[in-house]
Amino acid sequence: MAETKLTARERVEALCDGGTFVEEFAEALTHVTDFGMAERRRPGDGVIVGHGRVEGRPVYVYAQDWSVMAGTVGAAHGEKIAYAIDRARTLGLPVVGLWDSAGARIQEGLEVTRAIGRIFHANSQASGAVPQLSAVMGPCIGVGSYSPALTDVVFMVRGTGQMFITGPAVIKEVLGQEVTPEDLGGAKVHGELSGCADVVAADDRECLERIRTLLGYLPSSFDSNVPRRRTDDAPSRRADDLPDVVPQDLRKPYDVRMVITRVADDGEFFELKPRFARNMAIGLARLDGRSVGFVANNPQHVAGAIDVDAADKAARFIRFCDAFGIPLVTLVDVPGFLPGLKQEQAGIIRHGAKMLYAYSEATVPKVTVYLRKGYGGAKQAMCTRELGADAVLLWPGVELAVMGAEAAVEILHKREIGAAADPSAVRREKIAEFRERFSGPADALAKSFAQAAIAPAETRARLIGALAVLETKRVERPRKKHDVMPV
């Protein structure tokens, strides 16, 4: 993998349109001369900063240079990064950070902590104002991990990118444990277990190309228009094979991403965190050229039930889309929150509340489609009308209830079934009756839970039509200093 690792300047050139990058503060130097620093310092202080264009749109970029003191963050280095983030916020431009750093430069003492604090503050002030993307392209320790964690989307390069707060040497000394950098903080760890990485790329060039692709879905700032791309994919196109993709049997698994790609323009779906909390799928697509965020239960994993990781994954993405005016489409097929001692001890109440809060607080257009089932509080967590959905649509045969028909019948008719001459026949009869009277589409429509029932093949056209009407949506939030989200 080492041969695919680009230099910092090559990375900037690969990210930006050819010949558009303009470097700033190229001659900046550290002022520290102790500990042999006078001989080691280099112009630029180990980070390239400036602005360029991606697909013709301006962006700010900073790229750490591992060849200069292992990309360590000194005072001048940190001030340059903070400048790029602040400048991007002031100008209303996205900012991309290419990280490759051994962490803080200890030779510079307190001046380093001040510069690092400036970076964290700049990240926080820019949050929700402009898109912030980070790429972990080499070993990133301390600040090289925390700053990306404060940004919107984190990319990692498999085999070369690592993030950790405390390195293997310190862990061995303090805890007596031996661990490799890859096992401690490699792309597999953060892409599958911790959820700190949103996109994992095979090498530098793929990573940079993925960043360019993602920028195409995003506005330049919170008050810029979401970009619209021309497409030859007709808005009225039917997806006639959707009934084959989604089994009628509520207990049979399927991959909900196959639903998304069938309704999205040209079958394109930019998925985030694809291998973390796989029972929830999130990502960006386009409908009639407009960027849209998809949130969907994925019954292929733990039946699509919502656990603590899935709730975190969805809630953060909902708030990201809302911050930048990207409409939300929610596809629901959820049996409930994942039950069990481990989930309760991990705080499923607190984590699930994040989804309830995120949807309720979001003011972008929100369209919800029920594919097969929605039970209990998890149904609410997937954006009902009560939580602000502007349109709720149902597929045929959908079940909506406090719990599934089988479980409900066992509670409501336990004695009657137990006393029956043929308990199995009575149970089947009561289940069918419950589904028809209390959990089917007719009941949901009669009680105004949903606006309409639709044929699966019409899903794309109905989504596009609903979002077109909702383009002029405006919501005034209650007056307050800021919200207090459950975290």
Query: Is-contact 368 382, C-beta < 8 A?
Result: yes
pLDDT tens digits, 106-151: 666 677 788 899 999 999 999 999 999 999 999 998 888 999 999 9
Residue 109 backbone class (left: φ over 0; alpha: ψ -120 to 50; beta: rest): left
pLDDT tens digits, 422-469: 878 878 887 777 766 666 788 889 889 999 999 999 999 999 999 999
Look up residue 41 and give its two tokens: 């310092």
- Count of domains observed in the chain: 2
Q: Is residue 411 part of a domain?
A: no
- 148 and 17 in a common domain: yes
- 361 and 258 in a common domain: yes
- 201 and 52 in a common domain: yes
- 187 and 54 in a common domain: yes
Residue 159 backbone class (left: φ over 0; alpha: ψ -120 to 50; beta: rest): left
- 317 and 197 in a common domain: no
| CA 118 – CA 114 distance, rounded (Å) | 6
- Mean pLDDT (the chain, rounded): 92
Q: Is residue 419 part of a domain?
A: no
Which of 196, 215, 234 represents a domain boundary (last residue)?
Answer: 215
Which of 215, 234, 264 represents a domain boundary (last residue)?
Answer: 215
Domain with residue 191: its CATH number is 3.90.226.10
pTM: 0.93
| CA 164 – CA 402 distance, rounded (Å) | 42
- 273 and 207 in a common domain: no
Which of 170, 198, 215 represents a domain boundary (last residue)?
Answer: 215
In angstroms, the Cα distances linking 467 to 260, 290, 395, 427, 453 are: 16, 9, 18, 42, 17
- 246 and 211 in a common domain: no
Query: Which domain covers residue 254, as residue numbers?
Result: 242-398+440-472
- 249 and 203 in a common domain: no
Q: Is residue 321 part of a domain?
A: yes
- 140 and 268 in a common domain: no
Band of the pLDDT at 2, cuts 50, 70, 90?
A: very low
- 255 and 198 in a common domain: no
- 206 and 268 in a common domain: no
- 250 and 189 in a common domain: no
Q: What is the DSSP string of 397-438?
A: T-EEESS-HHHHHHHHTHHHHHHSSSHHHHHHHHHHHHIIII
